[in-house]
Amino acid sequence: MKSTDPARFESIRRAIEQRLKTAQGDGDLVQALEAIGNLGPADVPERVREACTDEREHVRIAAVHALLRVDDANADRQLKKAAYTDASPAVRAEALETVVRRHASGFGNEGGLGGTVAEFLNEFASIEPTPELKRRAEEMLGAVRS
């Protein structure tokens, strides 16, 4: 829609960003994060960045997932930060999966990761304390390299 009807796209984008700002309760916020992720704007709204550090794990997971189709190097920086530093293994897992899916879909920006996806996965696997996530990163690394 962005290329076929830019005015309508912009109107929808503004409405979703407003909904992000005024979300009442967890359900509204998660739905707004999902909507912004589906829209794929060229930049990451501040509210999505804030939601990536929300105290509620399910909100952080939704925010990380919202970055999947955002065409912005800042999205990769935010995902890398979540993958390396979030206290929740579930959030780190979502960030790991989202990075790989973004790059496989052509949305990723290696500049935002500070290197290639393979380098990111290798570094993640070397520092990840959770055996399951470490193993998953190593599996992904094998797939990326082949």
Architecture, CATH, for domain 6-145 = Alpha Horseshoe (1.25)
Alpha carbon separation from 55 to 20, 87, 88 (Å, rounded):
16, 10, 11
User: Residue 59 — pLDDT band, cuts 50, 70, 90?
Assistant: very high
The sign of the CA dihedral 38, 43, 45, 49 is positive
Residue 41's pLDDT band (boundaries 50, 70, 90)?
low
pLDDT score recorded for residue 29:
83
**Distance, C-alpha 85 to centroid of its chain:** 14
32: closest CA among 40, 43, 46, 21? Answer: 21
- Please state the rounded mean pLDDT for residues 86-101: 96
Retrieve residue 94's tokens.
């979502």
Higher pLDDT, 111 or 99: 99
> Residue 68 CB: number of other CB atoms within 10 A?
20
Domain boundaries, the chain: 6-145
Rounded to whole angstroms, the Cα distance separating 99 from 118 reads 11
